[in-house]
Structure 1
Amino acid sequence: MISRLMGLDGLDLRKLGDWSDHALSTTAYTAEEIQQAMGEFGAFCFDLVLERRKNPGDDLVSSLVQAADEADGVTEMQITKLVLGLVVAGHETTMTTLGNALVFLLTEDRAAWARISTSRDEAGAATEQLLRTIPLGDRVALPGMLRRATEELEIGGVTIPAGAVVAADTFSANHDPAVHPETGEGEWPDLFAAVDVPTLTFGAGPHHCLGAWLARMELESGLHSLAARLPELRLAHPVEQIEWREGLLTRSPLTLPVTW
């Protein structure tokens, strides 16, 4: 989907996945491997920006280039970094969330899988709860979203000095019983219960995800279509045998053998 929006239909998706993995690596690759991959990725995005300026089309990259050219002070490097970030974020996070959601639905909540197949509305309701309750990141590699305090503040009786880097644990916040009392400790939520308060899955304020509604639409459509097409879908092996992608900021199945 992100490739179509950005006019990248001819891009090798395996190459895109490899670049994304390097961009989000913590220990999966060496510093030299990351530098090389990001050099290739950056060069691709830079050439893409130049090409769309020369031959604009009806795609997101062309729109970004046009908007940047109409503004003052936007450099070629800034446009390139924005394009790179959108490609990674638009591919990696949706793929990760879809994989994790399937693991949950095919093991913990088979009844929900059947209900999701009935309509897009049901899939949409479940998508909101899945986004709230299933972590996107590897909580060992990344205990929270890293932020820098712009001024001194106090949280829970602890003073955070200005300039300090903190890890904001949005996963714990999304399970705060004072905000989400409907889920008891150790219990799975009702996937079709309305999420009546904002969650922090997509961040907040100036850090709110640009693609939040696109991600929701992709997950809702993907889960409903798959459940409707393959209602008897199930894991081919016990969940304990799932091979996971490790050493990245995100965590999801490396492979997910299924049958139906």
Structure 2
Amino acid sequence: MTTPTCPYTAGAALDPADAAFAADPHPFYAALRDRAPATRVRLANGSDAWLVTGYDQVRGVLADARFSNVPPRGAGRPKPDSPGQQARALLARHMLNTDAPDHVRLRHLVTKTFTPRRVDALQPRIHELVARLLQEIPRDAEVDLVDAFAFPLPVLVIGEVLGVPPADRDALREWTYQVGSPAHTLPPGALDDAWSSLHEYFKSLIDNKRRSPGDDLFSSLVQGELDTDELLAMAFLLLFAGYETTMNLLASAVLLLLTHPEELAEPHWPHVVEETLRHASPLEGATWRRTVEEVELTGTRIPAGASVLGVLAAASRDPLRYPEPNAFRPQRWADERTPPSLAFGHGPHYCVGARLARLEAQIALPALFEAFPGLQLAVDPGQLPYRPGLLVRGPRVLPVRTR
């Protein structure tokens, strides 16, 4: 596999959709981090961005109000007057794209609903869903574990949270995949269609829950203080963050364990989950920030109005914070001095679904390996295709042989 060349030193533009970069971006990030904690990079779409790659610097950016989460006007590929752009503008008004005081208000309403007690109450249902999926996986066969397990489990769980009918979940997966991918990797019109479809679907879902609320968590939000536009944006955020991150976490954890079989001898599952979050961060980057004023970051000056990405995957492999950062070592989490992973962010925008994602992984992984103790990879791991882009990261497929 070809190691991507650092565009800062070679002068080439970074294409996040490049297959080699998507498969292993860490040499590129390490080269940037060795240069400076924040580096200006030319992207393939012609824009410039500042990538922040050091652990301390990324953590600082995520908690610094000088880095605004509000996207600049005109961001995105669809035409300004297209239906897709109008739908995107509505759905993108979720709380990750807001600053205080709006963010404080929205997050307070969500955390009142997504309490630890209500999340933990999903545990029996998650066990049921895991058992059902494992029963459906054929034995002594080659199976794509993303399609058979890593995708359907979090979609089923977030379907429980949102009260989404099972028949609708494949369509939601496709639309969400498209809006999370670089626009130039999709067929013409696909991005517009995906945004429009998500908007229409969630509008219908909200109307139904207003008429006939269920016992799902989203019904509680619909019956609360959020207006329709805020509910539309919240539904999109819960869907995208609720399944995409967990799907990548599960797939990456299985891949790491199958390529490090010694870790399956006596696995401590919470440590396995934490090390997967660090080593194979399911969110490659945090949401884009924009500087509201000039900022000096450990000797590097970032101008006002600059696009800034805190690269979570790079921060999680900072050798100043994690000895042997490229090694998969779950036992490192037995040491209380190990700094917390930034996989779910930091500061006011820390992921409200982090507890649910960890819960799903800690239930699903031991059940999978207990059900299939002879599980093996069916392909060379170096040939696995990965999701393109700078936002999410995980194998697109994971062919295994079940035994």
Report the counterpart of residue 321 of structure 2 in structure 1: 179
Map residues 87-236 of structure 1 onto 2, 5 A cutoff: 87-107=239-259, 109-116=260-267, 122-137=268-283, 145-180=287-322, 183-184=323-324, 186=326, 188-194=327-333, 196-236=338-378
Tell me the CA shift for residue 9 of structure 1: 3.5
Tell me the CA shift for residue 130 of structure 1: 0.9
Distance in 1 of aligned mates of 2:386 and 2:195? 23
Change (3 A) 1:46 1:249: same
What is the TM-score normalised by the length of structure 1? 0.84
Report the counterpart of residue 91 of structure 2 in structure 1: none
Q: What is the count of residue pairs matched by the alignment?
A: 242
Change (3 A) 1:225 1:30: same
CA contact (8 A) 2:274 2:341 kept: no
CA contact (8 A) 1:114 1:227 kept: no
**Please, which of 193, 198, 201 is the counterpart of residue 41 of structure 1?**
198
Kindly provide the amino acid, as one letter, of the partner of residue 193 in structure 1.
Answer: R
Report the counterpart of residue 80 of structure 1 in structure 2: 232
Report the counterpart of residue 63 of structure 1 in structure 2: 220
Secondary structure class of the residue paired with 2:393: coil
Identity fraction in percent: 33
CA contact (8 A) 1:53 1:65 kept: yes
Change (3 A) 1:152 1:227: same
Distance in 2 of aligned mates of 1:191 and 1:58? 37
Tell me the CA shift for residue 211 of structure 1: 0.2
Q: CA RMSD in A?
A: 2.1
CA contact (8 A) 1:170 1:200 kept: yes
Distance in 1 of aligned mates of 2:221 and 2:368? 33
Kindly provide the amino acid, as one letter, of the partner of residue 211 in structure 2.
Answer: K
Secondary structure class of the residue paired with 1:79: helix
CA contact (8 A) 2:377 2:400 kept: yes
Change (3 A) 1:247 1:177: closer
Change (3 A) 1:231 1:114: farther
Secondary structure class of the residue paired with 1:67: coil
CA contact (8 A) 1:146 1:167 kept: yes
Distance in 1 of aligned mates of 2:325 and 2:201? 47
Distance in 2 of aligned mates of 1:12 and 1:156? 48
Higher relative contact order (CA 8 A, sep 6+): 2
